[in-house]
Amino acid sequence: MTTHVSSWQKDLASAFTNPEDLLQYLKINSKQFSSPARHDFSMRVPLSYAACMQKSDLDDPLLKQVLPIANELVNPDEFQNDPVGDLSALTENCIIHKYQGRVLIIITGGCAINCRFCFRRNFPYAEVQLNSQKEITALEYIRKNKSINEVILSGGDPLLISDHKLKDFIQKLSDITHLKRIRIHTRLPIVLPARITPELIDIFKSSSVPIVIVTHCNHANELSKQVMAACQALNQKNITLLNQSVLLKGVNDHAQILQSLSEQLFSAGILPYYLHLLDKAKGTAHFEVSENDAVKIHQSLQHILPGYLVPKLVKEQPKKAAKTLII
């Protein structure tokens, strides 16, 4: 029997993993990447994401999110391996139950892209992947806790698992009568839009519990025609689409850039949800925007956009019962 490999899986397998290849593709005549940084956290960039970058521009806001550079080796003390306390909150069954009514499940540690600013870049993924045994205990946990009304599929990227597994898991979740929503936190519609196949949309459509998708997009340039089409296809099936971004120095730390992002998200059928301050993970200090500057940028954004296109400015703090709103 031959195993069917979908086109998105091929795209995934052919992602750039060597910085030299990526720079050559972008016609950048430079060796400005860092091998030790790459060694700490490997590079991974799907072609569909690289295609959204400007050629010959080392300052491109998308390239900056993925190219390993020497600044990652500079580590102030407050930048740690588990900045938001996820490890201490993690139960044996891949569930993080920090907030009232909602649990987050780490479905898989894998991602289609490795974002240099990721707060999970130092996370011991192998230990927290959902396997069939953990799935049983996770479902049991949710069944027993009637206060849980929303399950958040997270990762890594939950949409990296096969259609078959996803369908099966959504089905099992929707059999739990106290669940009101299934939420999926994913960057795949943005970085690998080929993943949004008609078959995947059918899986969402056939769920008896409403599906909410929270995409992760940081810059309007990430919203190519193909990405817009994928999101619009989801939107047309009444799937609620929200977006969260991370405020990143040199990438999107200007009100005008965030304004274009919100406008473009709206055209794709997505409403801005959160604008996160950077989680202080080791290796990410060069992306930090101070809270003061963040507030100023956010205030300018409020002046130039309708309220519903202004994301909430938040940060995540260990042991808090919700994201902390910054005003």
Residue type, position 171, single letter: Q
Q: Are strands 271-276 and 240-246 parallel, antiparallel or unpaired?
A: parallel
Cβ at position 324, least distance to ligand PLP in Å = 10
From the list ligand SF4, ligand PLP, none, partner contacted by residue 157 (C-beta under 5 to 8 A by kind): ligand SF4
Q: Convert 4-34 to b/e letters by CB count within 10 Å (16 or more is b).
A: eeeebbebbeebbeebeebbeebebeeeebb
Q: Which residues, other chains included, contact 25 with Cβ-Cβ below 8 Å and sequence gap of 6+?
A: 16, 50
Using CB under 6 A as the binding rule, the residues of this chain from 91 to 130 that contact ligand SF4 are 111, 113-115, 118, 120
H helix or E strand, kind and range, residue 228 = helix 225-236
> DSSP character for 179?
-
Q: How far is residue 219's CA from residue 192's CA, in Å, rounded to a whole number?
A: 15
Residues that bind ligand PLP in the complex, under the rule CB under 6 A: 96, 98-99, 102, 104, 152, 322-323
Q: Which is nearer to ligand PLP, 102 or 249 (CB)?
A: 102
Residue 26 binds ligand SF4, judged by CB under 6 A: no
99 binds, among ligand SF4, ligand PLP, none (CB under 5 to 8 A by kind): ligand PLP
Residue pair 154/107 in contact by the 8 Å Cβ criterion = yes
Partner in contact with 113, chosen from ligand SF4, ligand PLP, none, beta carbon below 5 to 8 Å by kind:
ligand SF4
Number of residues that bind ligand SF4 (CB under 6 A): 10
Q: Which does 53 bind (CB under 5 to 8 A by kind): ligand SF4, ligand PLP, none?
A: none
Which DSSP symbol is given to 308? G
Tokens found for residue 138 = 């996770």
Q: Which is nearer to ligand PLP, 61 or 109 (CB)?
A: 109
Q: How far apart, in Å, do the first and last CA atoms of the chain sit?
A: 58
| Interacting partner of 114 out of ligand PLP, ligand SF4, none (Cβ under 5 to 8 A depending on kind) | ligand SF4
Q: 112 or 182: whose CB is closer to ligand SF4?
A: 112
Q: How far is CA 280 from the centre of its chain?
A: 16
Shortest reach from residue 115's CB to ligand SF4, in Å: 3
Q: Which is nearer to ligand SF4, 192 or 294 (CB)?
A: 192
Shortest Cβ 86–ligand PLP spacing (Å)? 7
Q: For residues 170-229, which are near ligand SF4 according to CB under 6 A?
A: 187, 216
- By beta-carbon proximity to ligand SF4, the closer residue of 135 and 157 is 157
Instruction: Decide whether 172 or 323 has the Cβ nearer to ligand PLP.
Output: 323
Report the chain's C-alpha Rg in angstroms.
19
Tokens of 19: 């910085």
93 binds, among ligand PLP, ligand SF4, none (CB under 5 to 8 A by kind): none
- Please name the helix (run of DSSP H) or strand (run of DSSP E) that holds residue 144, with its range, or none: helix 132-144
Shortest distance in whole angstroms from residue 229 CB to ligand PLP? 26
> What strands, in cross-sheet order, belong to the sheet with 181-186?
95-99, 102-108, 150-155, 181-186, 211-216, 240-246, 271-276, 312-315, 324-325
Binding partner selected for residue 104 from ligand PLP, ligand SF4, none, CB under the kind-specific 5 to 8 Å limit: ligand PLP
Report how far apart, in Å, the C-alpha atoms of 150 and of each of 97, 103, 146 are. 11, 7, 11
Residues that bind ligand SF4 (CB under 6 A): 111, 113-115, 118, 120, 156-157, 187, 216
